[in-house]
Structure 1
Amino acid sequence: MKAIVLNRHTDSKIELTEIALPHLSGEQVRVQIKAAALNHRDEWCRQGLYPNIKDGVILGSDGAGIVLDVAHHGLNEWLGKEVIINPALHWGDDEKVQGKDFQILGMPGHGTLAEFVDVDVNRIFAKPAFMNWEEAAALPLGGLTAYRALMVQSSLQKGEKVLVTGFGGGVAQFAAQFALAAGAEVYISSSSENKIASALALGITKGFNYKDENWAEEALKETGGFDLIIDSAMGDTINNLIHVVKPGGRIVFYGATKGNPSGFNARKVFWNQLKIIGSTMGSDKDFEEMLSFVKHHQIHPVIDQVFLLEEAEKAFDRMKLGQQLGKIVIKI
């Protein structure tokens, strides 16, 4: 089968190659991938910035397709079914935190940027009927991460004022859409006026350009402060977030792309009774609840661009530039 694998000996660090299909075993099913979507972790693997990477691994965590084969007759009910894949593996028994064996599809094990992927049957779910292949492929990782941050870690309530930072990326896009669907008053930040305009078209109340050094003061004056902030940057931006969150509010971050902060306004955190909460992807329970939520509210993922498998390098380069609005999808 054709697949995109990590190969750090090439100029692009990835290559389209042929991989032999293994024999199915245990409770595995074979999914013929119709579409897959990129996440930042795929580009970080290409750049050598992700832990435990190794050449020859098929990249990609998100995917949707049709079950083509199964390991034994007891799984025949899945044959021919249209499915999406939960890329979170081995979460463990504790809903509060992932276990030591937790992995994500696509590194260190083979992922979805291929014509076929073999996964355990408990990783597949019926594709939402209202979604096309590209939308379905875009949902799993970003949707799960956003759902856990909003609904599990921060217990979002209807009517709360929510700020989602860095609008444009997959998780931030889903966080904004999910918060809107849940009845929140949603604001976003971005460095792109075009992305802010796109957010307003989705129903966002207002967007703030974080390149403006006065954005935090403007946001505080405009809103009176946020009940909840969803962030993936951290770094020295944390003090702006501490400034604009209401007393008793929550800041949930699912990444730290700007690294650790060099300064931290600890006094304001304890005096204002703030909660700063870390979050990752999510448990199997979170995934099922996220999927139910998406189906109930008929939420369509925002698609940035669609590439062919042979154009994977272009897709990765677009991810690297960070100019996308929504998910970058590869059609198989």
Structure 2
Amino acid sequence: MKAFVHEFGETKIKDMADPFADHGQVTVSIRTAGLNRRDISIPKRRGDEAAALILGSDGAGIIESVGEGVTDFSIGDEVIINPSLQWYENSDAPPKGFDILGMPDNGTFTEKIVLPAEQVEAKPEHLTWEEAGVLALPALTGYRALFTKGGLKEGDTLFIPGAGSGVATYLIQFAKNVGAKVIVTSRSADKRQRAKELGADIVLDTNSDWTAELENETIDLVIESVGRATFNRSLEVLKKGGRIVAFGATTEDTIDLNLRKFFYGQYQLFGSTMGSRQELRAMLKHIERFKTHPVVDSTFSLDKANEAMNYLEQGKQFGNVALVVSE
């Protein structure tokens, strides 16, 4: 089978041995896969001496074979892959043993993958293959940050610095689904317009004066994934006693925090990473109930995976980037 791997400092297409579904496992013939920022960072972290690893955390496809003991799935079932490994029930933090598919285990940028049957879920019927392939990791990340950690509810006002990421597009839609007000920022006029079309109530230029622009708004929750460039600016517009959830840092991941100002403001700060299978299933019910569609910015064929990685690294996308593995 063909796969997109990182091997000895290079990312490339390579022929790999077909995997075999053992007891409790299923083989999934991948139709589409989704790129995430971790796919860009992994080759940088592995160095030049590491042997071949198939990249990719997100994917969707069709069950091709099942191992002994598998009763919940059959050959021909359409499924999405849960990239959150060994985290089953919701908890305050991931349990010991938690990992994300795509390192150290082989990932989804391949024609076939073998996984424990507990790592696949039925594909929502209203989604296209491209939509299903980019769903799990960013949507689960957004769902946990928004609801489990952030406690968003109807009537709340949500602030999202940076409107173009895959996670941000889910945050906007999930928040609007439950009746929240959504404010986003972007340096790009095009991304601001697209966020508005997706449902954002207020869109701001990232370079504008947020405090002045939002002086008449009461922001209950901030979802932060940018880091140093926006964290303290986000804190400035958050209401006293408000909640801020951080799940990433696309700029520098260290910040200067005025601790006295923070505790006098009674702010609440939460960290969040991915999510449990329980939350994934809740997220799937949510998108099925509201018929939510992932935003697919662009698609690339598997043999153009390096181009897709470069495109994502440049940050030009609005939403998710998909790899079409098979038609």
Q: TM-score per shorter chain, which class?
A: over 0.9
RMSD (Å), alpha carbons: 1.8
Match of 1:221 in 2: 215
Match of 1:232 in 2: 225
For each residue in 1:175-234, what CA deviation from the matched residue of structure 2 results, as whole angstroms up to 9, or x when unmatched?
Answer: 11111111100011112111000011112111112123x2x22333242x3100111022
Distance 2:46 2:235 in 1: 29
Of 21, 26, 29, the residue aligned with 1:29 is: 26
TM score, norm. by length of structure 2: 0.94
- Classify the secondary structure of the residue corresponding to 2:244: strand
For residue 127 of structure 1, report the CA deviation from its aligned partner.
Answer: 0.5
Match of 1:198 in 2: 194
Of 244, 252, 259, the residue aligned with 1:251 is: 244
Distance 1:247 1:76 in 2: 48
Percent of paired sites with the same residue: 37
Q: Tell me, yes or no, if structure 1 residue 61 matches structure 2 residue 57.
A: yes
Letter in 1 for 2:266: Q
Q: Is the 8 A contact 1:227 1:246 kept in 2?
A: yes
For each residue in 1:239-272, what CA deviation from the matched residue of structure 2 results, as whole angstroms up to 9, or x when unmatched?
Answer: 1111100011101010122234442122222112
Q: Tell me, yes or no, if structure 1 residue 157 matches structure 2 residue 137.
A: no
Distance 1:229 1:97 in 2: 20
For residue 317 of structure 1, report the CA deviation from its aligned partner.
Answer: 0.7
Q: Tell me, yes or no, if structure 1 residue 42 matches structure 2 residue 36.
A: no
For each residue in 1:30-79, what CA deviation from the matched residue of structure 2 results, as whole angstroms up to 9, or x when unmatched?
Answer: 00000001000001113x1479x943110010100000001126438421
Letter in 1 for 2:213: A
Once the two structures are superposed, the pairs formed by residues 1-332 of structure 1 within 5 Å of their partners are 1-9=1-9, 13-46=10-43, 48-49=44-45, 54-72=50-68, 74-75=70-71, 77-91=73-87, 95-212=91-208, 214=209, 216-223=210-217, 225-332=218-325
Q: Is the 8 A contact 2:80 2:132 kept in 1?
A: yes
Distance 2:14 2:114 in 1: 17
Letter in 2 for 1:146: G
Q: Is the 8 A contact 2:24 2:69 kept in 1?
A: no
Distance 1:76 1:89 in 2: 18
Task: Identify if the C-alpha distance between structure 1 residues 133 and 181 changes in structure 2 by more than 3 Å, giving closer, same or farther.
Answer: same
Distance 2:203 2:58 in 1: 28
Q: Is the 8 A contact 1:92 1:99 kept in 2?
A: no
For residue 166 of structure 1, report the CA deviation from its aligned partner.
Answer: 1.3
For residue 170 of structure 1, report the CA deviation from its aligned partner.
Answer: 0.9
TM score, norm. by length of structure 1: 0.93
- Classify the secondary structure of the residue corresponding to 1:35: strand
For residue 94 of structure 1, report the CA deviation from its aligned partner.
Answer: 6.4
For residue 106 of structure 1, report the CA deviation from its aligned partner.
Answer: 0.8
Unaligned runs of 5+ in 2: none
Task: Identify if the C-alpha distance between structure 1 residues 32 and 226 changes in structure 2 by more than 3 Å, giving closer, same or farther.
Answer: same
Unaligned runs of 5+ in 1: none
Q: Is the 8 A contact 1:5 1:55 kept in 2?
A: no
Letter in 2 for 1:57: L
Q: Is the 8 A contact 2:90 2:275 kept in 1?
A: no
Q: Is the 8 A contact 1:4 1:58 kept in 2?
A: yes
- Classify the secondary structure of the residue corresponding to 2:17: coil
Task: Identify if the C-alpha distance between structure 1 residues 117 and 219 changes in structure 2 by more than 3 Å, giving closer, same or farther.
Answer: farther
Q: Is the 8 A contact 1:242 1:265 kept in 2?
A: no
Q: Is the 8 A contact 1:92 1:98 kept in 2?
A: no
Q: Is the 8 A contact 1:41 1:50 kept in 2?
A: no
Distance 1:252 1:115 in 2: 36
- Classify the secondary structure of the residue corresponding to 2:54: coil
Q: Is the 8 A contact 2:90 2:277 kept in 1?
A: no
